[in-house]
Amino acid sequence: MELATFAGGCFWCMVTPFEELPGIKGIVSGYSGGPEVNPTYEDVKAGRTGHTEVVQITFDPTVFPYERLLELFWQQIDPTDAGGQFHDRGASYRTEIFYHTERQRELAEQSKQALAASGRFDKPIVTEITAAGPFYPAEEYHQNYHRKNPAHYKEDREKSGRDAFLEKHWSE
Mean pLDDT computed over every residue of the chain:
95
3-state secondary structure of 154: helix
State residue 37's pLDDT score. Answer: 96
For 61-75, what is each residue's pLDDT tens digit? 999 999 999 999 999
The closest of 102, 99, 111, 109 to 135, measured between CA atoms, is: 99
- According to DSSP, residue 138 is labeled P
What is the spatial distance between Cα 146 and Cα 153, in angstroms, rounded to a whole number? 5
State residue 93's pLDDT score. Answer: 96
Active site (catalytic) residues: 10
The number of folded domains in the chain is 1
State residue 48's pLDDT score. Answer: 93
**Position 171 pLDDT exceeds 90:** no
**Position 172 pLDDT exceeds 80:** no
pTM for this structure? 0.95
State residue 4's pLDDT score. Answer: 98
The burial of 170, by beta-carbon neighbours within 10 Å (0-12 exposed, 13-18 middle, 19 or more buried), is given as exposed
What is the spatial distance between Cα 6 and Cα 9, in angstroms, rounded to a whole number? 9
Q: Percent of the chain beyond pLDDT 90?
A: 94
Domain at 17, CATH number = 3.30.1060.10
What is the spatial distance between Cα 8 and Cα 95, in angstroms, rounded to a whole number? 5
Domain that holds residue 60: 2-170
Q: At what angle do helices 162-170 and 150-160 cross, to 10 degrees?
A: 60
Over range 104-121, report the average pLDDT.
Answer: 97
